[in-house]
Every structure is written in structure tokens, then in C-alpha cells.
Amino acid sequence: MCSSNKYPKMTKVRPLVTILNVGKIKYESGLALQTYLTKHQPNEPHTDFRNYLVLQEFHPVFTIGIRTKCYTIKDEQRLLKLGADFYRTNRGGLITFHGPGQLVAYPLLHLKQFNPSMRWYVSTLETMVIKTCREMGLNDATTTKDTGIWVKDRKICAIGVHGGRYITTHGIGFNCCTDLKWFDYIVPCGIEGKGVTSLSQELKREVTVEETSRQLVKTFSTVFQCDVQESPKHVSSDLLKLSLKFCSKNP
């Protein structure tokens, strides 16, 4: 009689993701870092790709995705006069704001190590943010027909991603203790008649980017079913310098 246990069951290896916490930087530095980390390593075999989760805050900047929806040079100049930078990017979505008090998280992942589906990826990002909110005491965060994570009709987290050859870039902008007045100058993500909010506003206490980052990393590991390793600050700083040098030579 043949044994059903003749061949041992294969255990799936959990992907490893390196956490880079780079602090408060300019948006162009964040772009350079994600470009360096995704372009400066092999795409195949996919198992050799090193995954990262980059955590950062940006100095004030307005960014536009691939669907510009009539934002003209005149609009750009108007926003620049406010003292913020302005960038057109290859991420999904329309216009949004990044600035101090907002956690910007860029998962740079090879989806073949996780699930080779952008639909799955975006849905998992949404779940990660919702679970992070709940762990921090905010139970009303949810998805709607509009992109992002919402508390009733107020957006608390913007999502704008890009995927190419199974590699993800860009990510989320999670309002922790952001000065929400910046959003008054735009229609966030092109969605009329809706507002914005933050963890601090909803929880009625000061919620820092650092506190949110700690919880988000824990939730990220659980939801994406991966192991994480924190990179020392000096390594993150060195990678940032290398990326700026790399992008200046490879515009």
C-alpha cells in the first residue's frame, strides 16, 4: 500500500523585505532612491530581486499622476508660488499633496515573489492601511468607489502606484499629523465634493509619522505575508547618496 506521505509537502518561502527609513527629504530624492533601488538590480530571476519598503516624509510638494486632468502650466506656477515643489510622475491617479506629517511609503516589490497581480497588490495595500488604522484605534477607515482609504467622505490615505515587469513603485500617502490646509489649493486626486483628514484629526491626539511607521511595518509584514528587516540609518543614508549620484549620471 502506497503512503500518501511519500513526498514531503513543500513550504512556500516567505519573501524578505528590507525597511528603509530615510526621514524627511525632497520629493526628487525619493524618486531617485526608488529608481536606484529598482533599476540597479536584476529583474530576473525574480528570486534575486531585493524587495524594499521605503518610509519617508517629503518637503511640501504637489504631484500629478498619469491622468493629469487639465492641470496646465498656469496651474503649476500657481502652486509653485505657495512654496511647494511640483512634479509630474508616472504613477496612477491625479493630483495630490505630500508634506511634513504625512507618511509616504513606497513598497518596491517583485510581485512574482508575492502574487503576480496588480489588482491583488492594490487590494492588499488597501487592507494594510485599513488594518493599520484599526490597530491605532480608528475603526471607520474603509474603501469606497473612489481610490484611497476614507473615513466617511474624508480621505485619510492616497494610493498611487506604478507597476512594470512585475516591479512596483510609488505607493501611499498616509496623513498622520499633516497640515491639511495644503489640500485647499487643489481637488485632491481629482475627486470633487470630498474632504481630507488625518489620524491626528480623527483620533483627537497627536499621531506622529514615527508612531504610524512602526505600526504600518508590523501590519505590512502580516498582510503581505513576508519577513522584514530594518536597515540601519547609516545604510539608508548611504543608499540615498548613491541614488542621487546614480540618477545624476543616468537622467
Which residues are documented as binding site? 91-98, 158-160, 171-173
Mode of pairing for the β-strands spanning 149-151 and 141-142: antiparallel
Cβ contact 102:178 at 8 Å: yes
Q: Which of 136, 139, 145 is nearest to 211 (CA)?
A: 136
How far apart CA 143 and CA 157 sit, in angstroms, is 10
Active site residue: 133, 157, 176, 189, which one?
A: 189
How far apart CA 219 and CA 216 sit, in angstroms, is 5
Question: Is 226 assigned a catalytic role?
Answer: no
Radius of gyration (Cα) for the chain, nearest Å?
Answer: 19
Taking each helix axis as running N to C, give the angle between helix 27-39 and helix 233-249, from 0 to 180 degrees, rounded to the nearest 10.
90
How far apart CA 90 and CA 78 sit, in angstroms, is 22
How far apart CA 211 and CA 208 sit, in angstroms, is 5
Buried b (16+ CB within 10 A) or exposed e, 132-153: bbeebebeebebeeebbbbbee
How far apart CA 53 and CA 70 sit, in angstroms, is 32
Q: Is 189 left (phi over 0), alpha (psi -120 to 50) or beta?
A: left
Query: Which residues participate in catalysis according to the annotation?
Result: 189
